[in-house]
Structure 1
Amino acid sequence: MSENSKNLKQLPLGDWHRDLGARMVPFAGYEMPVQYEGVMAEHIWTRTEAGLFDVSHMGQLQLTGEGAADALEKITPGNLSALAAGKIRYTLLLAQDGGILDDLMVTNTGRNLYLVVNGATKHDDIAYMRSQLPDNLTLDHLEDAALLALQGPKAAAALAKLNIQPLQEGWPTPADLYFMEAGPFLWNDIPLGISRSGYTGEDGYEISVPAEHAVTLATALADLEEVRPVGLGARDSLRLEAGLPLYGHDMGPEILPVEANLSFALSKARREEGNFAGAERVLSQYPNKAGKKRVGLFVDGRQPVREGATVVDDASAAIGNVTSGGFSPTLQRPIAMAYVPMALSETGTAIIVEQRKKQIACTVADMPFVPHNYHRKPKL
């Protein structure tokens, strides 16, 4: 272990990653695997087979008590009180002025609300939520739980081989879950919380497991022929292709939901109620009244544009910024996300990006760049 790594938190699977030859890097205060055999190979494997990600740095929380959903709605714009047991909703944690403090997934377990928040912000999120929620609610940080993500078109077939059972007879199996559904399960007497969700645009699952059993589960999954471990590098290129924003890069406290192109997270019922943090400011931009907007970019040539590059006008004056960028292994071309003036946000609009004093031609593109492959419930 290097001198620098001594100051980083260690994942329950840290030694497991090293034994598999992972290259470890600092991320969100943890030492985490960035790649095993290479980002390109791991990316393509996830798009065609099933990749196994360790996302145990994420914050897993439980909110318990009467009126938990109603209380959480005061600082999120999602319709959480209408969330049925076993269902998941993506929402945003909003500051009192409407700025985005984090994005998160909320599951109604039927007993409480289970939240997954970003690793780099989890402690600030917990402090903010505790300051805003009533005293009768209990917010627990599940620090003794690891979190694995199994992602890819063969994820369901691979997971089925482990013969994971629902906690009660008659409840759905993991294969029966649809996108944004979750449930409690047992595997060899180990309790698992499994959701059909993820951060790659592919079908797949996120699996919460007691940290003491994380190596056992990860080994069983990695031993399956469809599954290979995948690091942070491919996770980032996969989510970029899927058009999914990364907190701290593509959004932050200075950004409002409409600007972030996350208007879908402002549910109709909550817009009509207007009783969430920063609602007046947030809704003043809805649906398309913001001055800027996060968009996708196709980049001309082969040179990627990176976070921090500047969007400029014809006179080379700065009018926006690139927040994520890289080479798309699936499309075999560079792509990016950027904030541009709303007037330039239409698909097909020509954009100029300046990077290291060189101007690069780009075009506003629809997101996701690569179509999502979620296992959605058929519409009746």
Structure 2
Amino acid sequence: MPVRDDQDSLKKTPLHGLHVSLGGKMVPFAGYDMPVQYPAGVLKEHLQTRSAAGLFDVSHMGQLALRPKSGKVEDAARALERLVPQDIVAIAPGRQRYAQFTNEDGGILDDLMVANFGDHLFLVVNAACKDEDEAHLRANLSDDCVIEQLSDRALIALQGPKAESALAKLCAEAPSMTFMDAGPHKVAGLACFVSRSGYTGEDGFEISVPAADAERLAKALLENPNVMPIGLGARDSLRLEAGLCLYGHDIDTATTPVEAALEWSVQKSRRSGGARAGGFPGAEKILAHFDHGASRRRVGLLAQGRAPVREGALLFADAAAGEPIGKVTSGGFGPSLNAPVAMGYVPTALSALDTKIFAEVRGQRLPLTIAAMPFVKNTYKR
């Protein structure tokens, strides 16, 4: 984590006071003062989320509404398809989809979630990119949509195998929702937007709540003995075990969705030969990668020893000689596996499972094995 800035220069989420009262260790993150951990520590918080339920403050993320000027949500969906390679038109009311904003070179400007709320689209974007994302939307979609920044809302994630039972006490519809269902629901009597999704690989929910009510809702969830507050440290180790990309690390403006092993997120209708193929920034390069392959690929990496292989470590094909073939983009210790895990980019020719490569750590080349992701089986409710 970065060295602490002047606290007064950092933004605070609506749950900042609660984090401090719970003993959160606060650090700067994406311009916000955020809890990296609580007194229980990262390891216990991680395992708590895998075994029971964890509560995360993700209010630093950007929340946006795209309201079609025509009154038809399909028109907002078609407009958004000019900026992303996903099939937005096919998102049914009450559902959401993972997407990426791409640039003219096929790189990823940001990744985001898009939900169809029936009369408009609801978007959640990354904290570090939210201002640029909003400007991108306004510059390209203002003729078709009213773009509304929902800055008066907080965002809470409830994740883990006991998330459903905890939320069901406050939201009667929660048990009937399945993975990627999304829409307005009452939670503890509050007007919320709820999606069955998350960033941990576990079953769970993300709850958009009016900022003024966020602390009351968080406290109501934390009253459940199965729910524990979780900080950024465990959020990162959980998403790494789940094989999920972190923007600015595993994906960026120089990485295409195919290089990032995100082909699954681009529906056939937007690919070569599809009904609405292309028409998004960087389509020529991205579709060429679909048709002919890319020269490099994001892969999972397992170390043979106990030493974590961190972000930035160079990767080599040989134990002693040769030039680097790639680098690690995320790495750390996986508490669920009790072993180091990492992700990085290697030449596609060396990306097959069980391929042996090496990472340079403190002047030594440590053996790694290319492994399937997720490292921990996901538990989404399908």
Same fold by TM-score, threshold 0.5 exceeded?
yes
Equivalent in 4, 7, 12 of residue 5 of structure 1: 7
Shift of 1:325: 0.3
Q: 1:120 is paired with a residue of what secondary structure?
A: helix
Q: Where do 4+ consecutive residues of structure 1 move more than 4 Å?
A: none
Match of 2:369 in 1: 363
Question: Normalising by the residue count of structure 2, what TM-score does the alignment of the two structures yield?
Answer: 0.94
Distance 1:3 1:151, change over 3 A: closer
Please tell me the residue identity of whatever aligns with 2:283: A
Write the distance in 2 (CA, Å) between the matches of 1:155 and 1:188: 15
Please tell me the residue identity of whatever aligns with 1:69: A
Write the distance in 2 (CA, Å) between the matches of 1:188 and 1:334: 40
Distance 1:64 1:331, change over 3 A: same
Within the alignment, does 1:327 sit opposite 2:295 as a pair?
no
**8 Å contact from structure 1 (residues 258, 288) kept in 2:** no
**8 Å contact from structure 2 (residues 201, 380) kept in 1:** yes
Write the distance in 1 (CA, Å) between the matches of 2:209 and 2:92: 23
Please tell me the residue identity of whatever aligns with 1:229: P
Within the alignment, does 1:137 sit opposite 2:145 as a pair?
yes
- Alignment map for 1:101-180 (pairs within 5 Å): 101-162=109-170, 164-165=171-172, 173-180=173-180
Write the distance in 2 (CA, Å) between the matches of 1:287 and 1:144: 44
Q: Which moved more, 1:220-229 or 1:285-294?
A: 285-294
Match of 1:58 in 2: 61
Write the distance in 1 (CA, Å) between the matches of 2:190 and 2:168: 16
Q: 2:208 is paired with a residue of what secondary structure?
A: strand
Match of 1:209 in 2: 209
**8 Å contact from structure 2 (residues 330, 342) kept in 1:** yes
Please tell me the residue identity of whatever aligns with 1:220: A
Within the alignment, does 1:339 sit opposite 2:341 as a pair?
no
Write the distance in 1 (CA, Å) between the matches of 2:211 and 2:153: 5
Within the alignment, does 1:290 sit opposite 2:294 as a pair?
yes
Give the share of equivalent positions with the same residue, in percent.
Answer: 53
Task: Give CA deviations for 1:236-294 in whole Å, capped at 9, x if unaligned.
Answer: 00000000010000010011110011011111001122222111111111156101000
Write the distance in 2 (CA, Å) between the matches of 1:134 and 1:352: 49
Number of aligned residue pairs: give it.
367
Q: 1:209 is paired with a residue of what secondary structure?
A: strand
Within the alignment, does 1:303 sit opposite 2:311 as a pair?
no
Please tell me the residue identity of whatever aligns with 1:281: K
Q: Root-mean-square deviation (CA), in Å? A: 1.2
Equivalent in 45, 50, 53 of residue 42 of structure 1: 45
Match of 2:25 in 1: 23
**8 Å contact from structure 1 (residues 182, 194) kept in 2:** yes
Structure 2 gap segments, 5+ residues each: none
Q: 2:254 is paired with a residue of what secondary structure?
A: coil
Distance 1:182 1:311, change over 3 A: same
Shift of 1:189: 3.8
Write the distance in 1 (CA, Å) between the matches of 2:205 and 2:333: 26
Structure 1 gap segments, 5+ residues each: 166-172
**8 Å contact from structure 1 (residues 300, 362) kept in 2:** yes
Distance 1:201 1:287, change over 3 A: farther
Question: Normalising by the residue count of structure 1, what TM-score does the alignment of the two structures yield?
Answer: 0.95
Q: 2:219 is paired with a residue of what secondary structure?
A: helix
Match of 2:16 in 1: 14
Q: 2:135 is paired with a residue of what secondary structure?
A: helix
Match of 1:351 in 2: 357
Write the distance in 2 (CA, Å) between the matches of 1:158 and 1:56: 20
